[in-house]
Amino acid sequence: MFLLTGARGAVASALHPLLRADGHAVRLGSARPAELDQPAVHCDLRDPSTFPAALAGIASVFLYAEAAHLTEFLDAAIESGVEHIVLLSSSSTLDPDAATNPVAKSHLDAELALSDAPMPVTVLRPGAFAGNARSWAWSIRAGRPITLPYPNAYTDPIHELDVAAVAHALLTSPRHRGRHHTLTGPQTLTFTEQLRELAAIIGHPIEFEPVTPAAWRAEMADHLPAQYATGLLDYWARCDGVPTELTDTVERVTGRPARPFGEWVRDHVHEFAAAR
């Protein structure tokens, strides 16, 4: 049986039907199971008391990178006889400031906490999720310009379905197991290029306004902890005008090419439509 932690998340919710389609038994775990529209167990990665019941009878785990109690999670996994863990980490752990950047450090700490695990641990390191474009949806629906501190910063947007497909392949086959896999989308695009493609697909122009990092940080003050805002700004500054190095991991592991950014937009175009 598979345990999918963070079952309300984009990757786990896409992974679940892939496993069920193969006939696998799946247990969904969530810190707020009542919010799911299907049966789930209470598995709060910040509450070790929920670990034993969630892990009972589990052979493989899809694990979100919450490092606070991973030592206790690993102990419970060993006690339950878990044979394999797939950790959803981040390519930010490869950045030179990973140990000090809050965005990267949370994932790096999770990787380190599992580094001596007695069972195989497979680490997925996706880059920027295409779904990050959702942060623009409110402004687009409201007809307001999007504020960009680094309009020409490059990212490597990856569709959550591709991350789920890689996780599915790694959970169900021993091939590529126990390794670290860096995942990217098939394109490296600046924020302005992403907005241009998004505008073309939704069928109306999208305005953006360059702002200073300080102004963007102030704008995000009520929505994002200051240390994470600083971490993102530092990352975007490094990527300003610098194309992201792409990988072929999605195709190599799943046998099919990664989906382009435009496909994610078409899959979610309704999220950007203005209310009528």
**Residue 233 covered by a domain:** yes
Mean pLDDT, residues 157-173 taken together? 97
Block residue for tokens 């501190």: 149
Q: How far apart are CA 25 and CA 8, in angstroms?
A: 18
Q: If pLDDT is split at 50, 70 and 90, which confidence band does 273 have?
A: confident
Q: Is the dihedral of CA 241, 246, 64, 28 positive or negative?
A: positive
Name the residue range of residue 135's domain: 129-158+185-243+259-276
**Residue 163 covered by a domain:** no
Q: If pLDDT is split at 50, 70 and 90, which confidence band does 46 have?
A: very high
Q: Are residues 34 and 153 in the same domain?
A: no
**Residue 171 covered by a domain:** no
**Residue 46 covered by a domain:** yes
Q: Are residues 63 and 120 in the same domain?
A: yes
Residues whose CB is less than 8 angstroms from the CB of residue 92 and which lie 6 or more positions away in sequence, other chains included = 98, 101, 103, 104, 107, 235
Q: Are residues 134 and 238 in the same domain?
A: yes
CATH code of residue 142: 3.40.50.720
Q: Which of 243, 28, 222 is nearest to 155 (CA)?
A: 243
What confidence tens digit (pLDDT) does each residue in 167-200 have?
999 999 998 999 999 999 999 999 999 999 999 9
Q: Are residues 53 and 190 in the same domain?
A: no
Q: How far apart are CA 122 and CA 83, in angstroms?
A: 11
- pLDDT at position 276 over 80: no
- pLDDT at position 275 over 90: no
238 close to 95: Cβ distance less than 8 angstroms:
yes
The answer to whether the predicted template modeling score (pTM) of the entire model surpasses 0.85 is: yes
Backbone phi and psi for residue 125, each to the nearest 5 degrees, phi listed first:
-120, 75
**Residue 209 covered by a domain:** yes
Q: Which of 160, 155, 153 is nearest to 258 (CA)?
A: 160
The helix/strand/coil state of 125 is: strand
Work out whether strand 146-148 and strand 121-126 pair parallel, antiparallel, or are unpaired: unpaired
Q: What percent of the chain has pLDDT over 90?
A: 90
Q: Which amino acid is at 246?
A: L
Which ranges of the chain would DSSP assign to H, the alpha helix?
10-21, 51-55, 70-80, 102-113, 137-142, 160-172, 191-202, 213-219, 226-239, 249-254, 261-267
Q: In total, how many domains does the chain have?
A: 2
Mean pLDDT, residues 235-247 taken together? 96
Q: Are residues 63 and 38 in the same domain?
A: yes
